[in-house]
């Protein structure tokens, strides 16, 4: 039987303290498994959350857990050396670099710092042959510029896509996969829904980005991997596909993207 994969979640992020992370993550993962999720990728955003992501990936249970290490654009002024060291040290469940990229909506870090951190992480993903997990918000022109100069790793995903159909088409032309979160269910997301319709099924991923962005009808609650099926079922209806078809395809796509074991 196939299950859902949550291609991007933050089980360690912000609301879990260090001494609670294992128990809290395990509870969320148990609920995820009950909801038909059997694989998750826990994403690092700085040195601390990257270490926590790797620790969560070591938890035993019915859900397969994988991790990335990265420096989010919000944190781009921080020292990237710990991220480089974590990645190069290796871990059996380390499958990606990021999330990294640009965020010009909040712009918590200078654009120059975001660019430098992004370029270093592109190089790291290429060096280690790991997937690149990209955060791009209100910054697609600069994203194209950096990809033009640094290259696009062969396994790259634009996570929590928020661009237009034209932005999605450009991402696809560059070889990127595209992942959708609960935002696609929001009332004001018409342009995003148009983008979601044009992504080929073999380039599509679903994610929660938990604890953020709970999908309708759960807005206002903390998000968690158990809700990834809500995103997937909504996308299937939007695209005119069977839920099982989209579930199996997105899970296979995430397995390919992150080079996960065959099953």
> pLDDT tens digits, the chain, 263 residues: what are they?
579 999 999 998 554 545 545 558 888 999 999 999 999 999 999 999 999 999 999 998 999 999 999 999 999 999 999 999 999 999 999 999 999 999 998 889 999 999 999 999 999 999 999 999 999 999 999 999 999 999 999 999 999 999 999 999 999 999 999 999 999 999 999 999 999 999 999 999 999 999 889 999 988 888 999 999 999 999 999 999 999 999 999 999 999 999 998 77
* CATH 3.30.450.20 correct for 11-257: no
Q: What's the CA gap between 178 and 197, in Å, rounded? A: 12
Q: What does the domain layout of the chain look like in residue ranges?
A: 11-257
Cα pseudo-dihedral 218, 220, 225, 230, rounded to 10: 20
Residue appearing with tokens 């938890």: 59
| Angstrom distance (rounded) from CA 209 to CA 223 | 8
Dihedral Cα 68, 115, 134, 120, nearest 10 deg: -40
Cα of 97 vs its chain's centroid, Å: 10
pTM for the predicted model, two decimal places: 0.95
Q: What are the two backbone dihedrals, phi and then psi, of residue 153, each rounded to the nearest 5 degrees?
A: -55, 150
């Amino acid at each position: 039987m196939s299950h859902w994969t949550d291609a991007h979640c933050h089980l360690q992020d912000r609301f879990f303290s260090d001494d609670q992370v294992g128990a809290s993550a395990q509870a969320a993962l148990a609920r995820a498994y009950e909801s038909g999720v059997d694989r998750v990728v826990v994403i690092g955003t700085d040195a601390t959350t990257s270490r926590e992501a790797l620790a969560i990936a070591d938890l035993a249970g019915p859900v397969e857990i994988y991790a990335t290490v990265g420096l989010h654009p919000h944190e781009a002024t921080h020292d990237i050396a710990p991220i480089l060291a974590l990645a190069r040290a290796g871990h059996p469940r380390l499958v990606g670099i990021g999330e990294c990229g640009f965020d010009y909506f909040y712009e918590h870090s200078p654009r120059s710092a975001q660019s430098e951190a992004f370029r270093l992480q592109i190089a790291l993903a290429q060096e280690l042959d790991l997937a690149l997990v990209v955060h791009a918000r209100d910054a697609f022109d600069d994203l194209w510029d950096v990809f033009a100069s640094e290259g696009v790793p062969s396994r790259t995903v634009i996570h929590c896509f928020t661009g237009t159909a034209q932005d999605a088409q450009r991402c696809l032309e560059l070889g990127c996969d595209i992942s959708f979160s609960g935002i696609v269910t929001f009332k004001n997301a018409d342009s995003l829904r148009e983008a979601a319709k044009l992504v080929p099924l073999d380039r599509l991923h679903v994610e929660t980005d938990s604890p953020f962005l709970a999908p309708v009808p759960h807005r206002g609650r903390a998000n968690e991997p158990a809700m990834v099926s809500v995103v997937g079922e909504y996308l299937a209806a939007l695209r005119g596909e069977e839920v099982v078809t989209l579930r199996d395809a997105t899970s296979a796509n995430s397995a390919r993207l992150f080079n996960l074991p065959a099953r």
